[in-house]
Amino acid sequence: MKITRRNFIKTSASLGVLGLTGAPSFAQTPVFNYKVATNVQSSHSIYIRLTEASEQIRKETDGKVNIRIFPNGQLGSDTDMLSQVRSGGIDFLTTPGVVLANLVPMASLNSVGFIFPDYPSVWKAMDGDLGDYIRSYITKTGLVVTDKIWDNGFRHITSQKPINSPADLAGMKLRVPVSPLLLSLFKSLGAASTPINFNELYSALQTKVVEGQENPLTLINNSKLYEVQKNCAMTGHTWDGYWMVANRRSMDALPAPLRTIVNKNLNAAALAQRADSEKLAVSLQTDLAAKGMVFNRPDLAPFRKALQEAKFYQEWKAKFGDQAWAQLEAAVGKLT
pLDDT in tens, the chain (336 residues): 444 445 544 444 444 443 444 556 677 889 999 999 998 889 899 999 999 999 999 999 999 999 999 998 899 888 899 999 999 999 999 998 988 998 999 999 999 999 999 999 999 999 999 999 999 999 999 999 999 999 999 999 999 999 999 999 999 999 998 788 999 999 999 999 998 877 789 999 999 999 999 999 988 998 899 999 999 999 999 999 999 999 999 999 999 999 999 999 999 999 999 999 999 999 999 999 999 999 999 999 999 999 999 999 999 999 999 999 999 999 999 998
Domain that holds residue 197: 156-238+287-332
| Within-domain flag for 291 | yes
* DSSP conformational letter for 61: T
| Same domain flag for 245 and 100 | yes
| Same domain flag for 116 and 219 | no
- Exposed / middle / buried, residue 62 (Cβ in 10 Å: 0-12, 13-18, 19+): middle
- How many domains does the chain divide into? 2
Rounded to the nearest 10 degrees, what angle do helices 119-126 and 129-139 cross at? 50
Q: For the chain, how many helices (H) and strands (E)? A: 14, 12
| Within-domain flag for 13 | no
* DSSP conformational letter for 25: P
Q: How far apart are CA 171 and CA 189, in angstroms?
A: 9
pLDDT at position 198 is 78
| Same domain flag for 262 and 323 | no
| Same domain flag for 205 and 322 | yes
pLDDT at position 98 is 83
| Within-domain flag for 9 | no
| Within-domain flag for 142 | yes
| Same domain flag for 39 and 104 | yes
CATH of the domain at 161: 3.40.190.170
pLDDT at position 24 is 65
| Same domain flag for 234 and 325 | yes
Q: Which residues contact 66 (CB under 8 A, 6 or more apart)?
A: 31, 32, 33, 34, 54, 58
Q: How far apart are CA 90 and CA 81, in angstroms?
A: 8
326 φ/ψ angles, rounded to the nearest 5 degrees: -65, -40
pTM as predicted: 0.86
| Same domain flag for 147 and 183 | no
| Same domain flag for 138 and 193 | no
| Same domain flag for 92 and 206 | no
Q: How far apart are CA 156 and CA 212, in angstroms?
A: 11
What is the chain's Cα-based Rg?
A: 23
pLDDT at position 3 is 44
| Within-domain flag for 84 | yes
